[in-house]
């Protein structure tokens, strides 16, 4: 099977998709926005060909690269993209080049937060009330209808990027100015704020069957974690998948997959649970970010990348997640923006939890800090695992209290 894979070299875990496709027996051609001379020997060894384009967001450039690949041969069976911002480009190119895969209609539904919730609400999935807003006047009208707090976010956004929680009129005015909605129409969605605990439900499906599912929790919820420097936010994978409290979530998640026709792809679905019960937030037809599949692999003694590749190449996979471990990531923020000047607590953390620490990134002294809004992997972070979920949480809490990164 010949598979074209977009962005094989960046971010770091993209190479694992290429490795897995090659391991599964595929002939793999990459399309990327860096010269092939910059690809390392290992990655080149997994690729059978490579096309350089100016930008992976340029549909015409990607289409022309695919045409060149098709003319060279062998026959192209799949075109795959695993990064949110490339999903729609890939879908349009598939359609133009007659390559099987996720359709433009399906990808658009997964990208447009407003249409997504309208679609699922009609099919009985509990969702927050929402509205499409492209002007300040429409945003104000929605607030007048549902009241504060509300959420404002791009209709095709990913994660918490450009997402605002608005608690009052002052917040609304600031967000409208920052997004440009006060003077330029833009595609945003606004929805009522759903209070409660936030997490996500991830799957890998093959021929309509869920062959892997994972449930993760945010501590605290994303918007709070991405806005407050003093917080060391966590994402924790549960290994208690069969617990009765998760049955409703798993049922809802599988119904969402069925209704949206996501029967042969990876998915990432966000959810809330609070006073109003369980509610759907959004879903993407892609793996989660933050290299979370790597953490799932450590928690489950498996290779999700290979299972994904096997499902593409062979239409089946033998993945058997062990559920041996809970696992989590904790993000450690520098004391301020600037340059890293020192640390505290590293030796204590190593002595207490060394056997359970999987990986750690500690930015070197003298390096520039990154704004905390850049996400969980922006500055310092650690991955840990433990057979007991509560112990895993306790370790992460202690690491957050003990490990400090100083900047000036």
| Common-topology check for domains 2-101 and 129-192 | no
For residue 10, give the 3-state DSSP assignment.
coil
Domain definitions of the chain by residue range: 2-101, 129-192, 197-407
Would you say residue 159 has pLDDT above 60?
A: no
pLDDT, residue 182, reads: 86
pTM of the full structure: 0.92
Q: How sure is the predictor about 186, in pLDDT bands with cuts at 50, 70 and 90?
A: confident
pLDDT, residue 308, reads: 98
The average pLDDT across 187-193 equals: 91
First to last CA, the chain: 53
Reference 333, options 372, 300, 285; nearest CA is 372
Residue ranges of E strands in 257-336: 266-274, 277-284, 326-332
Would you say residue 213 has pLDDT above 70?
A: yes
Per-state percent for the chain, helix, strand, coil, to nearest 5: 40, 25, 35
pLDDT, residue 155, reads: 81
Q: Does domain 129-192 have CATH number 3.30.1490.20?
A: yes
Report whether the peptide linkage leading into residue 220 is cis, meaning its omega lies within 30 degrees of zero: yes
The average pLDDT across 327-333 equals: 98
Neighbours of 248 (CB within 10 A): 12
Neighbours of 228 (CB within 10 A): 13
Average pLDDT value over all residues in the chain: 95
Question: For residue 317, which phi and psi values (nearest 5 degrees)?
Answer: -150, 150
Instruction: Calculate what percentage of the chain has a pLDDT beyond 70.
Output: 99
- pLDDT tens, residue by residue, 236-281: 999 999 999 999 999 999 999 999 999 899 999 999 999 989 999 9
Q: How sure is the predictor about 184, in pLDDT bands with cuts at 50, 70 and 90?
A: confident
The Cα 68–Cα 123 span in angstroms is 42
Query: CATH homologous superfamily for 197-407?
Result: ATP-grasp fold, B domain (3.30.470.20)
pLDDT, residue 257, reads: 97
What is the DSSP secondary structure assignment for residue 367, as one 8-state letter?
Answer: P
81 neighbors 90 (Cβ within 8 angstroms): yes
Neighbouring-strand partners of residue 284: 268
The Cα 260–Cα 120 span in angstroms is 8
Would you say residue 227 has pLDDT above 90?
A: no
Reference 392, options 195, 217, 151; nearest CA is 217
Would you say residue 161 has pLDDT above 90?
A: no
The Cα 248–Cα 245 span in angstroms is 7
The average pLDDT across 378-407 equals: 98
Would you say residue 107 has pLDDT above 80?
A: yes
Would you say residue 201 has pLDDT above 60?
A: yes
Would you say residue 160 has pLDDT above 80?
A: no
pLDDT, residue 158, reads: 62
- pLDDT tens, residue by residue, 252-262: 999 999 999 99
Would you say residue 64 has pLDDT above 80?
A: yes
For 159, residues 6+ apart whose C-beta sits below 8 A from its C-beta are: 222, 289, 375
Q: Does domain 2-101 have CATH number 3.40.50.20?
A: yes
The average pLDDT across 90-114 equals: 95
β-strand pairing of 2-6 with 78-80: parallel
β-strand pairing of 188-192 with 150-154: antiparallel
pLDDT, residue 157, reads: 67
The Cα 293–Cα 277 span in angstroms is 28
The average pLDDT across 70-85 equals: 96
The Cα 264–Cα 242 span in angstroms is 24
């Amino acid at each position: 099977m010949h598979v074209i894979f977009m962005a094989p070299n960046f971010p770091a875990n993209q190479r694992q998709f290429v490795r897995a496709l090659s391991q599964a027996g595929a002939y793999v051609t990459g399309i990327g926005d860096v010269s092939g001379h910059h690809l390392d020997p290992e990655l080149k060894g997994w690729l059978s060909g490579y096309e350089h384009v100016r930008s992976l967001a340029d549909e015409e450039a990607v289409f022309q690269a695919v045409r060149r690949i098709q003319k060279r041969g062998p026959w192209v069976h799949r075109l795959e993209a695993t990064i949110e911002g490339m999903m729609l480009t890939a879908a349009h190119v598939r359609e133009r080049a007659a390559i099987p895969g996720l359709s433009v209609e399906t990808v658009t539904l997964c990208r447009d937060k407003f249409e997504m919730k309208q679609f699922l609400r009609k099919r009985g999935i509990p969702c927050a009330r929402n509205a499409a807003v492209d002007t300040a006047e429409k945003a104000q009208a929605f607030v007048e209808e549902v009241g504060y707090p509300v959420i404002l976010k791009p209709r095709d956004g990913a994660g918490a990027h450009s997402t605002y929680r608005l608690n009052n009129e002052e917040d609304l005015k600031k967000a409208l100015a920052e997004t440009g909605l006060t003077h330029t129409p833009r595609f945003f969605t606004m929805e009522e704020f759903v209070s409660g605990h936030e997490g996500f439900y991830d799957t890998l499906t093959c021929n309509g069957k869920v062959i892997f599912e994972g449930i993760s929790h945010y501590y605290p919820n994303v918007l709070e974690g991405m806005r407050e420097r003093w917080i060391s936010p966590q994402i924790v994978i549960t290994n208690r998948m069969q617990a009765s409290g998760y049955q409703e979530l798993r049922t809802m998640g599988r119904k969402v997959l069925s209704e949206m026709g996501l029967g042969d792809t990876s998915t990432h679905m966000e959810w809330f649970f609070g006073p109003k019960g369980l509610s759907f937030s959004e879903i993407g037809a892609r793996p989660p970010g933050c290299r979370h599949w790597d953490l799932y692999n450590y928690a489950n003694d498996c290779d999700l990348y290979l299972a994904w590749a096997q499902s593409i190449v062979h239409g089946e996979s033998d993945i058997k997640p062990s559920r041996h471990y809970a696992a989590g990531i904790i993000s450690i923020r520098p004391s301020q923006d600037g340059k890293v000047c020192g640390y505290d607590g590293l030796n204590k953390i190593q002595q207490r939890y060394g056997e359970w620490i999987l990986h750690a990134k500690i930015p070197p002294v003298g390096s520039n800090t990154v704004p905390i809004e850049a996400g969980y992997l922006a500055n310092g972070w650690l991955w840990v695992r433990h057979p007991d979920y509560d112990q895993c949480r306790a370790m992460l809490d202690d690491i957050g209290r003990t490990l400090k990164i100083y900047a000036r």
